[in-house]
Structure formats: C-alpha cells, structure tokens
Structure 1
Amino acid sequence: MDLEIRHLRVVCTIADAGSLTRAATELHMTQPGISAQLRRIEAMLGGCLFDRRQQGTVPTPLGELVLGRAQAILPSIDELLTDTARATRRMSAAARIRVGSVGAPLLGHLLLAVKALLPEAEVTSRCRYSPLDLLEDLAAGRLEVAVLGDHPGQELPRPEGVALHTIATEPVFALLPATHPLAARDEVPLPELLQEDWAVPRPAADRTREYWSSVSALTGRTPCAPYEAEGRQLIEIVRAGLAVSLCQCTFIEVPGVVVRPLAGNPLWYRHILAWRDDGPLAAAGTEILSRVVEDYRSACTTSPAYALWQERNRGAPRAPHHS
C-alpha cells in the first residue's frame, strides 16, 4: 500500500483535532475506523506518529517530521486541484454555452451568432425578468453570455470577471390601443399619455417601473396604473382599450395595438451584451457583439415607427448612458 494524499490529510486532521475521536467526527469516520487508518499509515512510514494519552494525541518526533512535510505539501496540492478543476470547467463549458436574456428582442440574434461561431457547442438559453439576476449568474459561472438592459441613472454594476458591452441605446415608445385618439399622432406627448390609465410591469429589481415613474414625475404627474402585467398579458390589456403603456421601440405591432414615439424622447433603454472574461466566449466576444449589433440594426428596419423616428432624429443627441 502506497502513501496517498488522503493519508496526509488524516494525519493533519488528527494533529489539529487533538484526539482520534474528534478527528473521526471531522472526517465523518468511526473512531475504530480512523484508528485502523492511522495504524496502516504508521506501518507505511515505519514508526509511531502520535502518543495516545488520556488527554488526547500528541505528535511524536517522527509525527512532527511528517506533519511539517504534510503541511508544506498540502496547500500546493489544494492549489493544483483548484486550478485543474477550473480548467476542466472551462473545457467542458466550451462544449456547453448557457445563454441568458431579459425580455429583449436580441436573444434569437445572440443564439444564432453563438451557433455560427461555435457550431459544435451545445447551446441552451433561459430568460429572467431582472438583469441583476443574470449578472449574478454570469459572475457565478452559471451562464457564459447574456443579453441585459438598463436605463439612464440606473446603469448596471460590472461584477469582477464580467465584461459589459453596449449593443444600442434606444428611445422608449408608447404602446396604444389602435382605436385610441393618440394613435393618430406621429408622436405622443408624455403629459397627455399620463392622463390615461396605464398597464405597467410589477416592481422588480430591473427598476423599469421606478424609472418610468421618476421621468413621469418631471412632468408633474405619475402614471395611474390600475393594471399590473407583463408580456402577452400587458399587450392584451392595451389591445382591449383598457390602458396605455410603454414598449421598446423595436416592438413589432400586432393587430389592435400601435407603437408611437414619445415627443422629446424623455425615456431611454440600453441593450447590453455581457460575457465572462475567462469564459469560452471571451476570445469570440468581439465577433459575437459585432454580429448581434448588425442583426439588431437589421431588425430596426422592420419597425416602421422606429425607422421613421431614426430618420427624423438623425444626428440628434443620444441618452446619457455610459458604455
């Protein structure tokens, strides 16, 4: 039987614990089991390592020698195991790309870009309402890349080890019932929109609702929001003519609702692409970002309201976001 790393850990644990009984508890072993283990180790090393006394165990001179060497060796072994585990995770992650996204129109573009650059990888995705949850997943290594978003004055923090890159900063538009009088306008003044009942998302960590309210308050009004909903449910409330709301400017109109710019561009949203600095996409990140930006620009042309807004606002100042 050869001496193994686990044997050195047993010797160090016995010395630290000061008794076989306490060492057995720490190592999840029985007292007879650890006693038998120690006898085998002592047989391999050719002498007694501990004096068994009523007060506990005390290292012998040979035990002191073994402990000194073990305590010098084990930290390096632990570092080696940590480094190899990290390297193994990176290699396995290269074959498995986990993608996250908030409710933005860019997830499909990102998935296509990843698949094009890493055709052999297994690509999966999941969505979260809050970008902070996705950032936490990225920082913890539970995702390799994600589409995020924020608003002026509410810029996302950059966790250590995570790169954040702006895809686009765009205005927020009004979402109206197709039969609403304001739908006949080319653009909608926010103060007039605030005279209507609103459908709004629930208060959440992404602070969208807080941002809408803070900008609205600058007009002297805040939204009267009897309806709290998201996604398809919010659209159905607007379609029914019960409320108005806000949406991303690339929102694709469906029968019964229309999208209109807000006069003066008071509200903004920033799309962000994030990936881990040490992840499998770090080397390809710039190319993936380029592809997603190109696809985003193509998607913008499918939104008539946004295309018209871009033409009218060419060269105008953008929102105060930091890249």
Structure 2
Amino acid sequence: MQLELRHLEAVLQVAEAGSLGRAAARLGVSQPALSAQLRRIERVAGGELFVRSRSGVEATPLGDFVLSAARRVLGEMDALTAGTRATAPHPALRLGCILLVLVDHLFGHLEKELPSVDIDITIEHSATALVRTLGAGQYDAILFGEVGGHEVPIPDGVAVRTLTPKEPAFVRLSASHPLAEQEEIELADLAGETWTMLTDDGDGGPEAMANACRQAGFTPKLRYRIADRRMRWKLIAAERAISLCQPTSPYVEGTVLRPLAGDPVTGRIRLAWNRAAVCEQRASQIYQAAARAYLDSIPTNATFQAWWESRPELHPTLDQV
C-alpha cells in the first residue's frame, strides 16, 4: 500500500478533531473503519502516529512529522486546484452548506442572482470541516451555523458575513405528545425524554443543548445521532424521540414544532467565502440569495414569524429589486 491524499486527509482530521469518533463523523465513516484505515497508514509510516490520552488522542513525534508533511502536500494540491480554476474561462461556483432549512429554497434565488453561473452545491455534516475545506480551496463559499456562542475558527484568506445573528431553537415533538398542545414548552418539562440530533456537526449544537439542559436541572438522554432529516422526523412522529430544530423547519405530518420558554438555545447563520475565488460583488449576490431563501422559510411557522417580525434588528440587509 502507498499513502494517498485521502490517507493524509484522514490523518489531519484525526489530529484536528482530537478523537477518532469525531474524526469519523466528519469524514462520514464509522469509527471502526477509520481505526482500521489508521492502522494501515501507520504500517506504511513505520510506527504509531497517535497515542490515546485522557482528553482524546495526541500525535507522536512520528505523527507530528507526518502531519507537517501532510499539510504541505495538501496545501500544494489546494494551490494547484486554485490555479487551474483561476485560468478556467467559466468556473462553476462551488458552494458548501450544512443541513440548513434555507437550502431548500436556495437554488431558485441563486439562479436569479447568478443566471449565467454553473453552481455546484454540496451538503456537509460538519461546520468545522466545511470551514477548513473552504480555507483549503475546495469550496468558493459556504453557509454554516454556529450555536450557543460557539465560533468556528476562520482560516486566513476567508471573509465572513453574518446572515442571521440570532435564531432560537424550537423542539419537535410527536403530535400525540402530552405537551404538544402547549403554545410554549419549558425545557425542564422535557427531562425524561429521549433525544435525537444530527451527527457531530462541529457547530457547538450538542454542547449548547447539554449546557441548557444542565441549567434546567437534567442531563439529556441522547439515543439517536442521525444525519438524515426525514429519518429523524419519522422517529419523532413515532414517539420514539424528540429533537431541537430550526424554527423555520417545515410542517411534518405527525409532529409539531414548539418554542422553548426563554429561548435557552440560540444560534446564528453565516456566509463565508474564499477571497481568492469570490469577489465582493459575487459574495454580495450569494448573500442576497441566501437571505431571500431564509425569508422564504419563515412563514412556515406562525409563532416564529411573530418572534421574527418583532425583532427587525435581526433582519438581513436586502438590495431593492
């Protein structure tokens, strides 16, 4: 076996995530599969690259050497990719997104803002990995969320603009849940529930949820980590779990979406772009498209619409059309 770029990427992910579990989630593979791959890489490298510690994994001296070389090699590949795109006559816009509700409405608005541009949109599950790959040149722009004051590290050469500075998390319950008829739910009343959430998405969401629950006097029972949105909805409709959701989430048969009293968990949505690939005018066009897509999703929830309309300071700045 010879080392390939994907092997170097895996080693970097383990180092950056600090654990095999988090790295596996970012790479979209199982932890046993990543462990087996790492053992094969270590056999080629000639020794252990990481050792386990109380806080996760730490690089060995050999691991530090391989990581340094991996960053250099992958950086050269990113520069090659950026160079070829710079000389291409009509490069496509490469847009990465985490699983935000506004993406459902985004395509039409992008086509209006950028009618002659080919658009390549990819959905990722980790905001941290998304930002890092943007800095590495794999995307031109990205849309991502941050929850509970969490800030994803922004690499050099990347500009950021906040689309929505504050958005409260709502809770999705089965329509037959005893609390489903309430207009607003106290988080403490959900202490005995089983929860489902996305796989580790690097946006601070799990930490914000755990902290809010702790302040409400309980530790949440998290049983399901599922990336597929519709599968999560089916679990909830079947009364097997509940979940925090964006307040703009659509109506789902068999479920209800309710606000949490006092907005104990909030987040924000941001746009970031690689300055070397996206000019200010194009960044503004992407922002306009994303803002209008977000606004399109607000009327799906009358409760959130009232919350939103009472807070004009949170509204995105739109160009006149």
Normalised-by-shorter TM-score class: 0.5 to 0.7
Q: Deviations over 1:22-57 (max 9, x none)?
A: xxxxxxxxxxxxxxxxxxxxxxxxxxxxxxxxxxxx
Map of 1:161 onto structure 2? 157
Structure 1 Cα separation of the partners of residues 235 and 80 of structure 2: 54
Q: TM-score, normalised by structure 2?
A: 0.66
Map of 1:216 onto structure 2? 213
Does residue 148 of structure 1 match 2:124? no
The structure-2 alpha-carbon separation of the partners of 1:179 and 1:112, relative to structure 1 and needing over 3 Å to count, comes to same
From 247, 252, 255, the counterpart of 1:254: 252
Listed as ranges, the matches of 1:33-44 within 5 Å are none
- Shift, 1:96, TM fit: 1.2
Residue type at the aligned position of 1:257: T
- Shift, 1:276, TM fit: 1.0
Structure 1 Cα separation of the partners of residues 138 and 120 of structure 2: 12
Moved more, 270-279 or 227-236: 227-236
Map of 1:119 onto structure 2? 115
Residue type at the aligned position of 2:187: L
From 92, 96, 110, the counterpart of 2:92: 96
- Shift, 1:229, TM fit: 2.6
3-state SS, counterpart of residue 182 of structure 1: coil
Structure 1 Cα separation of the partners of residues 110 and 272 of structure 2: 13
From 202, 225, 228, the counterpart of 1:228: 225
Map of 1:137 onto structure 2? 133
Residue type at the aligned position of 1:99: L
Contact 1:275-1:282 at 8 Å conserved across structures: no
Contact 1:194-1:221 at 8 Å conserved across structures: yes
- Shift, 1:226, TM fit: 2.9
Listed as ranges, the matches of 1:305-316 within 5 Å are 305-310=303-308, 314-315=310-311
Moved more, 84-93 or 177-186: 84-93
Contact 1:109-1:295 at 8 Å conserved across structures: yes
Map of 1:193 onto structure 2? 190
Residue type at the aligned position of 1:233: M
The structure-2 alpha-carbon separation of the partners of 1:254 and 1:204, relative to structure 1 and needing over 3 Å to count, comes to closer
Q: Percent identity?
A: 29
Structure 1 Cα separation of the partners of residues 211 and 81 of structure 2: 47
Map of 2:12 onto structure 1? none
The structure-2 alpha-carbon separation of the partners of 1:310 and 1:86, relative to structure 1 and needing over 3 Å to count, comes to closer
3-state SS, counterpart of residue 262 of structure 2: coil
Q: TM-score, normalised by structure 1?
A: 0.66
Residue type at the aligned position of 1:263: A
- Shift, 1:178, TM fit: 0.3
Contact 1:202-1:209 at 8 Å conserved across structures: no
Does residue 296 of structure 1 match 2:294? yes
Q: Deviations over 1:255-289 (max 9, x none)?
A: 10000000001101211111111213533212321
Structure 2 Cα separation of the partners of residues 217 and 310 of structure 1: 27
The structure-2 alpha-carbon separation of the partners of 1:236 and 1:109, relative to structure 1 and needing over 3 Å to count, comes to closer
Residue type at the aligned position of 1:286: S
Moved more, 234-243 or 151-160: 151-160
Structure 2 Cα separation of the partners of residues 116 and 110 of structure 1: 10
Structure 2 Cα separation of the partners of residues 283 and 227 of structure 1: 42
The structure-2 alpha-carbon separation of the partners of 1:86 and 1:250, relative to structure 1 and needing over 3 Å to count, comes to closer
Contact 2:105-2:297 at 8 Å conserved across structures: no
Structure 2 Cα separation of the partners of residues 180 and 203 of structure 1: 27
The structure-2 alpha-carbon separation of the partners of 1:86 and 1:124, relative to structure 1 and needing over 3 Å to count, comes to closer
Two-structure CA RMSD over aligned residues (Å): 2.6
Give unpaired runs (5+ residues) of structure 2.
Answer: 1-78, 315-321
- Shift, 1:132, TM fit: 1.2
Structure 2 Cα separation of the partners of residues 156 and 209 of structure 1: 14
Contact 1:203-1:210 at 8 Å conserved across structures: no
Structure 2 Cα separation of the partners of residues 221 and 305 of structure 1: 27
Number of corresponding residues: 235
3-state SS, counterpart of residue 181 of structure 1: coil
